[in-house]
Chains A and B, each alone.
Chain A
Amino acid sequence: MIAYDILICGIGGQGAISLGTVLKLAAIHEGLDVVGAERRGGAQREGIVTSNVRYRKPESGETPDERRMAASGLIPTGAADMMISMEPLEALRHARYLNERSVVIINNFPLTPVSVRMGEREYPQLETVHSRLREFTPNVHLFPIDELSRGHFNSLRQVNTIALGIASALGGLPVSDESILAVVREQFSDFETNRRAFELGKETARK
Chain B
Amino acid sequence: MNPLALNEPGRTILAMGNDAIVRGGLEAALGYFSTYPGTPASEIGEGYRSLKHEFPHIHAEFSVNEHVAAHGAQGASWAGIRSMVTMKHVGMNVAAEVLHFAGYTGVGAGFVVVIGSDPGATSSTSEQDDRWYSLHTHLPILEPSSIQEAKDHTSRAFELSEIYNLPVIVNAPSKLCHNIGSLRLGNLPNVFPVKGRFERNPERYINLFAGSVANHRRAMEAVKRLQGETPSLGLNRVLPGSGRTGFISSGINYLYLLEALSLLGIADAPILKIAMSYPLNPDEIASFTRHLDRVYVVEDLEGFIEFQAKRLLYDAGIRIPIIGKDVFPAHGELDVDLIAGRLSEELRTPLPKRMTRAIKLSNELTGDLPPRQGAFCTGCPHRATVYSIVKASDRNTVFAGDIGCYTLSCLPPFRAFDWVTCMNCGVGIAQGMLQKIEGENVIAYVGDSTFFHSGIPGLINAVQQNASLVLIILDNKWVAMTGHQPSPTTDIALDGTRMHPVDIKGLLKSIGVSYVRTIKPFNIKASMAAIKEAIRVGNGVRVIIAEEECALQYGRRVARTPVEYEVYYQIDEGRCQKCNECYVELGCPAIRKEETTGGWRYYIEEATCLRCGACHDLCLNSAILRTEILRTAGMESL
The reply to whether B355 and A48 form a contact with Cβ atoms under 8 Å apart is: no
Asked whether any CB of chain A lies closer than 8 Å to the CB of B206, the reply is no
Q: Contacting chain B: which of A27-35, A163-171, A192-200?
A: A27-35
Complex Cα–Cα for A123 and B370 (A) = 7
The reply to whether A67 and B372 form a contact with Cβ atoms under 8 Å apart is: no
The reply to whether A96 and B584 form a contact with Cβ atoms under 8 Å apart is: no
Q: Contacting chain A: which of B54-62, B258-266, B467-475, B616-624?
A: B258-266
**Chain A 31-74: CB-based contact to B (< 8 A → 1; otherwise 0):** 10111111111111111100100100000000000111011111
Asked whether any CB of chain A lies closer than 8 Å to the CB of B163, the reply is no
Complex Cα–Cα for A51 and B337 (A) = 17
Chain A residues whose C-beta falls within 8 Å of the C-beta of B361 in the assembled complex: 95-96, 135-136
Complex Cα–Cα for A85 and B365 (A) = 17
Nearest Cβ in chain B — how far from A33, in angstroms? 5
The reply to whether B358 and A99 form a contact with Cβ atoms under 8 Å apart is: yes
The reply to whether A47 and B373 form a contact with Cβ atoms under 8 Å apart is: yes
Asked whether any CB of chain B lies closer than 8 Å to the CB of A206, the reply is no
Q: A44-B405, A45-B589, A97-B358 are in contact. Are A33 and B182 (CB under 8 A)?
A: yes
The reply to whether B372 and A11 form a contact with Cβ atoms under 8 Å apart is: yes
Say which residue of A12, A25, A34, A66 sits within 8 Å of B239 (CB atoms): A66
The reply to whether A45 and B374 form a contact with Cβ atoms under 8 Å apart is: yes
Q: Contacting chain A: which of B212-220, B279-287, B375-383?
A: B375-383
Complex Cα–Cα for A99 and B413 (A) = 37
Chain B residues whose C-beta falls within 8 Å of the C-beta of A13 in the assembled complex: 377
Chain B residues whose C-beta falls within 8 Å of the C-beta of A121 in the assembled complex: 370-371
Q: A37-B175, A43-B405 are in contact. Are A24 and B180 (CB under 8 A)?
A: yes
Chain B residues whose C-beta falls within 8 Å of the C-beta of A117 in the assembled complex: 413, 583-584, 587, 593
The reply to whether A36 and B179 form a contact with Cβ atoms under 8 Å apart is: yes
Complex Cα–Cα for A12 and B376 (A) = 11
16 A/B residue pairs, CB under 8 Å, sorted by A: A35-B179, A35-B181, A42-B481, A44-B374, A44-B405, A45-B378, A46-B589, A51-B180, A67-B258, A76-B336, A77-B358, A78-B352, A114-B587, A120-B412, A122-B370, A156-B607
Q: A33-B181, A72-B259 are in contact. Are A89 and B372 (CB under 8 A)?
A: yes
The reply to whether A42 and B123 form a contact with Cβ atoms under 8 Å apart is: yes
Interface size on B, residues (CB 8 A): 70
The reply to whether A78 and B354 form a contact with Cβ atoms under 8 Å apart is: yes
Q: Which A residue's beta carbon lies closest to that of B585?
A: A118
Say which residue of A20, A21, A66, A78 sits within 8 Å of B258 (CB atoms): A66
Complex Cα–Cα for A118 and B123 (A) = 25
Asked whether any CB of chain A lies closer than 8 Å to the CB of B190, the reply is no
Q: A99-B357, A112-B593 are in contact. Are A44 and B408 (CB under 8 A)?
A: yes
Complex Cα–Cα for A119 and B318 (A) = 60
Chain A residues whose C-beta falls within 8 Å of the C-beta of B114 in the assembled complex: none
The reply to whether B181 and A74 form a contact with Cβ atoms under 8 Å apart is: no
**Chain B 174-194: CB-based contact to A (< 8 A → 1; otherwise 0):** 011011111000000000000
Chain B residues whose C-beta falls within 8 Å of the C-beta of A182 in the assembled complex: none
Asked whether any CB of chain A lies closer than 8 Å to the CB of B349, the reply is no
**Chain B 434-453: CB-based contact to A (< 8 A → 1; otherwise 0):** 00000000000000000000
Complex Cα–Cα for A64 and B373 (A) = 42
Q: Which B residue's beta carbon lies closest to that of A75?
A: B336
Nearest Cβ in chain B — how far from A172, in angstroms? 17
Q: A34-B14, A44-B377, A98-B358 are in contact. Are A76 and B263 (CB under 8 A)?
A: yes
The reply to whether B369 and A93 form a contact with Cβ atoms under 8 Å apart is: yes
Q: A72-B336, A114-B413 are in contact. Are A43 and B481 (CB under 8 A)?
A: yes
Shortest Cβ-Cβ A-B pairs, 6 listed = A35-B181, A78-B358, A96-B362, A44-B374, A121-B370, A72-B255
Q: A73-B175, A77-B358, A117-B584 are in contact. Are A28 and B182 (CB under 8 A)?
A: yes
Q: A70-B258, A118-B584, A123-B370 are in contact. Are A43 and B180 (CB under 8 A)?
A: no
Complex Cα–Cα for A44 and B175 (A) = 19
Complex Cα–Cα for A99 and B360 (A) = 12
Asked whether any CB of chain A lies closer than 8 Å to the CB of B359, the reply is yes
Nearest Cβ in chain B — how far from A111, in angstroms? 8
Chain A residues whose C-beta falls within 8 Å of the C-beta of B337 in the assembled complex: 76-77
**Chain A 78-114: CB-based contact to B (< 8 A → 1; otherwise 0):** 1100000000011011011111100000000001111
Q: A37-B175, A73-B179, A73-B252 are in contact. Are A114 and B358 (CB under 8 A)?
A: no
| Size bracket, chain A contacts | 35 or more
Residues of A within 8 A of B (CB): 11-13, 20-21, 24-25, 27-28, 31, 33-48, 51, 54, 66-68, 70-74, 76-79, 89-90, 92-93, 95-100, 111-124, 132, 135-136, 150, 155-156
Complex Cα–Cα for A116 and B182 (A) = 40
Chain A residues whose C-beta falls within 8 Å of the C-beta of B44 in the assembled complex: none
The reply to whether A92 and B369 form a contact with Cβ atoms under 8 Å apart is: yes
Q: Which B residue's beta carbon lies closest to that of A97?
A: B358
The reply to whether A78 and B355 form a contact with Cβ atoms under 8 Å apart is: yes
Complex Cα–Cα for A122 and B14 (A) = 40
Nearest Cβ in chain A — how far from B374, in angstroms? 4
Nearest Cβ in chain B — how far from A4, in angstroms? 14
Chain B residues whose C-beta falls within 8 Å of the C-beta of A95 in the assembled complex: 358, 361-362, 365-366
The reply to whether B372 and A28 form a contact with Cβ atoms under 8 Å apart is: no
Q: A96-B366, A115-B370 are in contact. Are A36 and B180 (CB under 8 A)?
A: yes
**Chain B 383-408: CB-based contact to A (< 8 A → 1; otherwise 0):** 00000000000000000000001001
The reply to whether B182 and A34 form a contact with Cβ atoms under 8 Å apart is: yes
Say which residue of A39, A72, A156 sits within 8 Å of B252 (CB atoms): A72
Complex Cα–Cα for A77 and B366 (A) = 14
Q: A78-B355, A89-B370 are in contact. Are A68 and B182 (CB under 8 A)?
A: no
Say which residue of A12, A36, A46 sits within 8 Å of B181 (CB atoms): A36
Complex Cα–Cα for A137 and B423 (A) = 46
Chain B residues whose C-beta falls within 8 Å of the C-beta of A73 in the assembled complex: 175-176, 178-179, 181, 252, 255
